[in-house]
A and B are shown apart, each in its own frame.
Chain A
Amino acid sequence: MNAIIQCQQLAKRFGSKTVLQQLSFELQQGDVAALIGPNGAGKTTLFSILCGYLRPDSGNASIFGHKAGSSALFGKVAALPQDAQFDPAFSIGEQLDFYGRLQGLSSKAAREESKRVLALVDLTEQLQHKAGALSHGMRKRAAIAQAFIGTPRLVLLDEPTAGLDPVNALHIRQLISRLSGEVSFMISSHNIFELEQLCNKVLYLENGQLKQHSSSDTTTQQLQYLTLQLEQDNSEAISAALRQLPGLIDLHCAQRRELVLSYNPQHNADFDLAVLQCLAANGWRYRNLTKGQTLEQKLFNPA
């Protein structure tokens, strides 16, 4: 496996506040990694170190074998930094052209590239408009577009869909999903459902420390999960019935009308079918039955 990001014992302090403490992790080629954590956990600081905006107080951060921020990474690593704005004096197109030129494209190729990346975020018609004339969401999408200029191999996105309307947030998620595989992503977001859809690896930061570093699939041959969302609020009766099913290890109510069942598939390979039959036999209606736990359950409410 090729590690694209290697962080070893990263530490960063701002004054007396320790923001990152001895952080070590690796990401592999093709990974789409989620960076999750409460406010002030150190996510943006980690992003800034990986982009070369900040220097760690100690430890190493390397990307594709080069020190983070090194000139060898220009064009290979792209990012959507938090709160970075375009220059209001120039049109979006002019600035994207300029970024393309800095990445080594000719004037003509840079113009074509600007059109291509703006089309990715559905902003083709805004090419001639200045950043100040665009809405917050459009500016955000234009900032995402700049991250796809050229052929980046790693894209770091800090809150990519924050402030976007649902349709455009969906477009961005679809874009990331379409490009993942050929491009590796690291995404910081508070939208856990979005990260669940996009990411195969999770880095959970809390107080500057890595609390969890796992792939999203935590099931084993002896332990699997089902998440059941019910239509009616009679989970106690349903729980009692489901507890009788062979193979069940544990059952708990994650939230109102939502049950999480853990089971041993070696004892009951058709456990999901048994659950559906149990519901049907009792006339209980359900909204959703999902294999596995949600990312939220894994992180904050482990069974």
Chain B
Amino acid sequence: MALFITTLQHCGLYAGFELRRLWLTRRGLMTLAATAVLWFFLLRYAIAPASDLIASEGFQQMFRDAFGAFGLSQLFAWPAPELAIYWILSLMLLPLLCLFFTANQLCSDLQRGTLRLLALRSSRLSIVLGRFSGQMLVQSCLILLSLVATLSLAAWREGGLTLAMLNAAAVIAVNLLLVLLPFTALMSCFSAMVRSSRLAVSLAIVSLGLVFVLLSSFVFYFPDFLFLLGYMPGTQVMQLLPMQGWQTLQYALLPLLQTLVLLSGATLLLTRKAL
């Protein structure tokens, strides 16, 4: 029990330290600046013009005729078109960006030997979980900031904020975090394996691609195993796209289980690794 409490305390300390890295260090502020610039361009040149287009009746009718069969016409049911566009863009973009943003959970510390100083004071499980939690907190901050900007845009166009918009924003935030969980845990694994964040990203992209190709080939010859493709990280994204509201949480179990498995793998890798 005492070990469990200590592990939780250490996780909190590591996560807090990662938050400090985001808000109080030059590298963290650069990450914030890069995110701000990215979302400025997305809001200015994608979300704002697309929202105006989506708000027009003529476009909605044409879209329903063309994509209604795929369920995408549900996008018009969002309380603000800005949120609908944000939903699509972030679901497609953030998993990829997550691979880059969270690649350095352990690599640099392994390379510098800082992990040797940490491992004298906390278990490797605490280090993995703490760094993972820290990265999730950092991503929560970035998502919240971009959501606030999108809500501001919507409020400016609609002439005010509604409770439905805030509720939709909460749905988006929770779902995005759920989608990012397995990707962040995947990077925990790769950052525990190698001493360079670039190599960790490359390995993650190659591995995901390779697994997808191998599984697809396998499924081609054995179609009964098609369900295996559904266990790849992020496969629920396509199912989430046409959905909205809290019913989206029906897809929460898979990413949670994937995260559990991947974090166990990361802990095992780091525990067996020579520091």
A residues near B (Cβ < 8 Å) are: 48, 51-55, 69, 71, 74-75, 77-79, 81-87, 89-90, 94, 98-99, 101-103, 143, 146
Contact = CB atoms under 8 A, between A and B. Distances in A.
A74 B121 contact: yes
B120 A85 contact: no
B150 to A, nearest CB: 30
B27 interface: yes
A52 B119 contact: yes
Given A53-B275, A74-B122, A98-B13, A146 B117 contact: yes
A89 B26 contact: yes
Interface string B102-117: 0000001100111011
Contact of A102 (B27, B121, B274): B121
A48 B108 CA distance: 19
A79 B120 contact: yes
A71 B13 contact: no
A146 B113 CA distance: 14
Contact of B13 (A48, A75, A102): A102
Contacts of A101: 13
Given A83-B113, A90-B25, A48 B274 contact: yes
B208 interface: no
B118 interface: yes
B17 interface: yes
Given A48-B274, A53-B274, A89-B25, A84 B122 contact: no
A17 to B, nearest CB: 14
Contact of A51 (B3, B109, B116): B116
23 contacts: A48-B275, A51-B119, A52-B119, A52-B120, A54-B275, A69-B119, A71-B123, A79-B120, A81-B116, A81-B117, A84-B113, A86-B114, A86-B117, A89-B28, A90-B21, A98-B13, A99-B121, A101-B13, A102-B10, A102-B13, A102-B121, A102-B122, A143-B117
B6 interface: yes
Nearest to B17: A98
Nearest to B274: A54
Interface of B: 3, 6, 10, 13, 17, 20-21, 25-28, 108-109, 112-114, 116-123, 272, 274-275
Nearest to B7: A71
A36 to B, nearest CB: 22
Nearest to B21: A89
Secondary structure of the B side of the interface?
Answer: helix
A143 B113 CA distance: 11
B25 A77 contact: no
B120 A51 contact: yes
* Closest CB pairs A-B (n = 3): A84-B113, A53-B275, A102-B121
A84 B13 contact: no
Given A71-B6, A77-B120, 13 more contacts: A51-B120, A53-B275, A54-B275, A78-B120, A79-B116, A82-B113, A86-B114, A87-B109, A99-B117, A101-B13, A102-B13, A102-B122, A103-B121
B163 to A, nearest CB: 39
A45 to B, nearest CB: 10
A84 B121 contact: no
B275 A71 contact: no
B19 to A, nearest CB: 13
Given A48-B275, A53-B275, A102-B10, A89 B122 contact: no
Contacts of B112: 84-87
A153 to B, nearest CB: 13
B119 to A, nearest CB: 7
Contact of B116 (A53, A71, A90): A53
A85 B113 contact: yes
A91 to B, nearest CB: 10
A78 B117 CA distance: 9
Nearest to A143: B117
Contacts of B272: 55
A102 B21 contact: no
A102 B13 CA distance: 7
Contacts of A85: 112-114
Nearest to B3: A71
Contacts of B27: 89
Given A71-B6, A98-B13, A102-B122, A84 B274 contact: no
Contacts of A81: 113, 116-117
